[in-house]
Amino acid sequence: MDVVKLQKQLVDYRASLYHEAFLDEQFTQLQELQDENNPDFVVEVVSLFFEDSERLLNELAKALEQQSIDFKRVDAHVHQLKGSSSSIGAQRVQKVCITFRNYCEEQNVEGCLKCLQQVKHEYSLVKTKLETMFKILAAGGSIPM
């Protein structure tokens, strides 16, 4: 695939991620922090986000399976997930976390379980999108600034 086509593909793909609110301007900030001296910054941060999120989603599932749910603990995990998704610009994940925290405050089990499903879904969507974008990058496209 020639470079021009790849570039276009990348630009379009990236635009769609913003358009559909998978990513917000914070992601742009991350890209601006990347330079020749730190060429892998975005990939590194996003990889940390993937690792951290998966850990948190596991913890959340465990916490919500308990007989007597510790909502403070659940809320603490969601707070962390909300923070990290906000830091990389994963807007849809962040939004679900906000709703999730409200349910925690209300100690609403059903609401929490629903949100857990939703956040898992949004997380897997943004993960796929970002991985696709990195694949295009690796294939030779570059992100025009």
Task: Tell how far CA 127 is from the center of its chain.
Answer: 6
What is the binding site for other proteins (CB under 8 A)? 26, 29-30, 32-33, 38, 41, 44-45, 48-49, 52, 76, 79-80, 82-84, 86-89
The least distance separating other proteins from the CB of residue 60, rounded to whole angstroms, comes to: 16
> What is the phi/psi pair of residue 35, to 5°?
-150, -170
**Nearer Cβ to other proteins, position 26 or 132?**
26
| Contact of 115 with 99, CB cutoff 8 Å | yes
The least distance separating other proteins from the CB of residue 8, rounded to whole angstroms, comes to: 29
**Nearer Cβ to other proteins, position 3 or 98?**
98
The least distance separating other proteins from the CB of residue 58, rounded to whole angstroms, comes to: 16
SS (H, E, C) 62-118: HHHHCCCCCHHHHHHHHHHHHHHHHHHCCHHHHHHHHHHHHHHHHCCHHHHHHHHHH
The least distance separating other proteins from the CB of residue 49, rounded to whole angstroms, comes to: 6
**Nearer Cβ to other proteins, position 78 or 112?**
78
